[in-house]
Amino acid sequence: MDHARNVPSATGPQRNHLALAEPAHRPSSQAPVMWALSASLGWILPVIAQLVWWAVHPQPPWPHLAAAALTAVAMVVHIGVVPLWRYRVHRWEISPQAVFTRTGWLVQERRITPISRVQTVDTYRGPMDRLFGLANVTVTTASSAGAVHIEALDTDVADRVVAQLTDIAALRGEDAT
Protein backbone atom coordinates (compact mmCIF):
# COMPACT_ATOMS: atom_id res chain seq x y z
CA MET A 1 0.00 0.00 0.00
CA ASP A 2 1.43 3.36 -1.00
CA HIS A 3 0.92 5.90 1.75
CA ALA A 4 2.64 8.80 0.01
CA ARG A 5 -0.15 10.90 -1.46
CA ASN A 6 -0.48 14.39 -2.79
CA VAL A 7 -2.18 16.36 -0.06
CA PRO A 8 -3.20 19.98 -0.57
CA SER A 9 -0.99 22.32 1.42
CA ALA A 10 -2.61 25.01 3.51
CA THR A 11 0.05 27.46 2.35
CA GLY A 12 0.43 26.79 -1.35
CA PRO A 13 0.47 24.29 -4.18
CA GLN A 14 0.17 20.57 -3.67
CA ARG A 15 3.20 18.77 -2.24
CA ASN A 16 3.98 15.12 -1.69
CA HIS A 17 3.27 14.41 2.03
CA LEU A 18 2.51 11.29 4.00
CA ALA A 19 -1.27 11.12 4.23
CA LEU A 20 -3.14 9.56 7.11
CA ALA A 21 -4.10 6.37 5.30
CA GLU A 22 -5.85 3.33 6.72
CA PRO A 23 -3.30 0.70 7.79
CA ALA A 24 -3.84 -2.73 6.25
CA HIS A 25 -2.94 -5.29 8.94
CA ARG A 26 -5.02 -6.47 11.91
CA PRO A 27 -3.75 -7.85 15.20
CA SER A 28 -3.65 -11.63 15.58
CA SER A 29 -6.98 -13.44 15.39
CA GLN A 30 -6.23 -14.52 19.00
CA ALA A 31 -6.34 -10.89 20.18
CA PRO A 32 -10.10 -10.68 20.91
CA VAL A 33 -9.96 -13.88 22.97
CA MET A 34 -6.99 -12.60 24.98
CA TRP A 35 -8.61 -9.18 25.47
CA ALA A 36 -11.87 -10.84 26.61
CA LEU A 37 -10.05 -13.12 29.07
CA SER A 38 -8.06 -10.16 30.42
CA ALA A 39 -11.27 -8.16 30.84
CA SER A 40 -13.03 -11.04 32.59
CA LEU A 41 -10.27 -11.27 35.21
CA GLY A 42 -10.99 -7.67 36.19
CA TRP A 43 -14.61 -8.55 37.03
CA ILE A 44 -13.80 -11.21 39.63
CA LEU A 45 -13.51 -8.80 42.58
CA PRO A 46 -16.65 -6.74 41.79
CA VAL A 47 -18.72 -9.94 41.51
CA ILE A 48 -17.29 -11.31 44.78
CA ALA A 49 -17.96 -7.95 46.48
CA GLN A 50 -21.60 -8.04 45.36
CA LEU A 51 -22.02 -11.62 46.60
CA VAL A 52 -20.54 -10.69 49.99
CA TRP A 53 -22.78 -7.60 50.17
CA TRP A 54 -25.83 -9.76 49.41
CA ALA A 55 -24.79 -12.35 52.04
CA VAL A 56 -24.20 -9.71 54.73
CA HIS A 57 -27.29 -7.57 53.94
CA PRO A 58 -29.85 -9.86 52.23
CA GLN A 59 -32.86 -7.59 52.76
CA PRO A 60 -34.27 -5.81 50.82
CA PRO A 61 -33.39 -7.72 47.61
CA TRP A 62 -34.08 -4.97 45.03
CA PRO A 63 -30.77 -3.03 45.52
CA HIS A 64 -28.87 -6.29 45.03
CA LEU A 65 -30.86 -7.15 41.92
CA ALA A 66 -30.35 -3.66 40.46
CA ALA A 67 -26.61 -3.79 41.17
CA ALA A 68 -26.38 -7.31 39.72
CA ALA A 69 -28.23 -6.23 36.57
CA LEU A 70 -25.95 -3.22 36.06
CA THR A 71 -22.89 -5.38 36.69
CA ALA A 72 -24.10 -8.01 34.22
CA VAL A 73 -24.69 -5.42 31.48
CA ALA A 74 -21.29 -3.80 32.08
CA MET A 75 -19.60 -7.22 32.06
CA VAL A 76 -21.22 -8.27 28.79
CA VAL A 77 -20.13 -5.04 27.12
CA HIS A 78 -16.61 -5.11 28.57
CA ILE A 79 -15.99 -8.82 27.93
CA GLY A 80 -18.10 -9.49 24.84
CA VAL A 81 -18.32 -6.26 22.86
CA VAL A 82 -15.16 -4.23 23.56
CA PRO A 83 -12.63 -6.91 22.46
CA LEU A 84 -14.48 -7.42 19.16
CA TRP A 85 -14.75 -3.68 18.61
CA ARG A 86 -11.03 -3.21 19.34
CA TYR A 87 -10.21 -5.99 16.86
CA ARG A 88 -12.37 -4.26 14.25
CA VAL A 89 -10.60 -0.92 14.81
CA HIS A 90 -6.94 -1.84 15.49
CA ARG A 91 -4.72 -1.75 12.40
CA TRP A 92 -1.02 -1.34 11.66
CA GLU A 93 1.31 -1.13 8.69
CA ILE A 94 4.99 -0.55 8.01
CA SER A 95 6.25 1.19 4.87
CA PRO A 96 9.76 2.37 3.94
CA GLN A 97 8.65 5.87 4.98
CA ALA A 98 6.56 5.39 8.13
CA VAL A 99 4.78 3.27 10.73
CA PHE A 100 0.98 3.63 10.48
CA THR A 101 -1.34 2.68 13.34
CA ARG A 102 -5.00 2.97 14.25
CA THR A 103 -6.01 2.06 17.81
CA GLY A 104 -8.77 2.49 20.36
CA TRP A 105 -12.39 1.55 20.69
CA LEU A 106 -14.41 4.37 22.25
CA VAL A 107 -11.76 7.00 21.48
CA GLN A 108 -9.80 6.14 18.35
CA GLU A 109 -6.35 7.37 17.38
CA ARG A 110 -4.60 7.19 14.01
CA ARG A 111 -0.88 7.93 13.87
CA ILE A 112 1.90 8.13 11.33
CA THR A 113 5.43 7.86 12.65
CA PRO A 114 8.08 8.72 10.06
CA ILE A 115 10.90 6.17 10.01
CA SER A 116 13.34 9.06 10.41
CA ARG A 117 11.89 9.66 13.92
CA VAL A 118 12.29 6.04 15.12
CA GLN A 119 14.78 5.69 17.99
CA THR A 120 14.16 2.19 19.36
CA VAL A 121 11.95 -0.78 18.58
CA ASP A 122 11.05 -3.12 21.45
CA THR A 123 8.87 -6.17 21.97
CA TYR A 124 6.90 -6.96 25.11
CA ARG A 125 5.25 -10.26 26.05
CA GLY A 126 3.30 -10.35 29.29
CA PRO A 127 1.91 -13.54 30.85
CA MET A 128 -1.37 -13.29 28.94
CA ASP A 129 0.49 -12.57 25.68
CA ARG A 130 2.66 -15.66 26.18
CA LEU A 131 -0.41 -17.79 26.93
CA PHE A 132 -1.83 -16.87 23.51
CA GLY A 133 1.49 -16.76 21.60
CA LEU A 134 1.33 -13.00 21.12
CA ALA A 135 3.71 -10.06 21.42
CA ASN A 136 3.47 -6.27 21.38
CA VAL A 137 5.83 -3.96 19.48
CA THR A 138 6.71 -0.52 20.84
CA VAL A 139 8.26 2.01 18.47
CA THR A 140 9.89 4.76 20.51
CA THR A 141 10.29 8.01 18.64
CA ALA A 142 11.79 11.44 18.93
CA SER A 143 8.28 12.82 19.36
CA SER A 144 6.50 14.49 22.22
CA ALA A 145 3.43 12.40 21.32
CA GLY A 146 5.18 9.35 22.72
CA ALA A 147 5.77 5.83 21.50
CA VAL A 148 3.65 3.99 18.95
CA HIS A 149 2.30 0.62 20.09
CA ILE A 150 1.34 -2.28 17.83
CA GLU A 151 -0.55 -4.70 20.06
CA ALA A 152 -1.39 -8.40 20.00
CA LEU A 153 0.70 -9.63 17.08
CA ASP A 154 1.60 -13.27 16.60
CA THR A 155 5.13 -13.68 17.98
CA ASP A 156 6.66 -14.44 14.58
CA VAL A 157 4.91 -11.40 13.05
CA ALA A 158 6.23 -9.18 15.86
CA ASP A 159 9.75 -10.49 15.27
CA ARG A 160 9.44 -9.75 11.54
CA VAL A 161 8.12 -6.24 12.27
CA VAL A 162 11.09 -5.50 14.54
CA ALA A 163 13.53 -6.85 11.94
CA GLN A 164 11.83 -4.89 9.14
CA LEU A 165 11.88 -1.62 11.10
CA THR A 166 15.51 -2.17 12.07
CA ASP A 167 16.47 -2.83 8.44
CA ILE A 168 14.57 0.21 7.13
CA ALA A 169 16.05 2.49 9.79
CA ALA A 170 19.57 1.17 9.10
CA LEU A 171 19.18 1.78 5.35
CA ARG A 172 18.09 5.37 5.95
CA GLY A 173 21.09 5.97 8.19
CA GLU A 174 19.50 9.00 9.87
CA ASP A 175 19.73 9.89 13.54
CA ALA A 176 16.29 10.38 15.12
CA THR A 177 17.55 12.58 17.94
**What residue segments make up the domains of the chain, in order of their start?**
34-84
Taking residue 28's Cβ as centre, other Cβ atoms within 10 Å add up to: 21
Structure confidence at residue 143 (pLDDT): 83
Per residue in 45-102, pLDDT (tens digit) is 999 999 999 999 988 889 999 999 999 999 999 999 999 999 999 999 999 999 999 9
* Cα dihedral: 69, 75, 81, 85 (round 10): 130
Residue 3 predicted with pLDDT over 50: no
Cβ neighbours of residue 112 closer than 8 Å, sequence gap 6 or more: 3, 18, 20, 98, 99, 100
Cβ-count burial 69-91 (b if 16+ within 10 Å, e if not): eeeeeebeebbeebbebbbebbb
CA distance 60 to 46: 20
CA distance 162 to 139: 9
pTM listed for this prediction: 0.82
SS3 (DSSP) at 149: strand
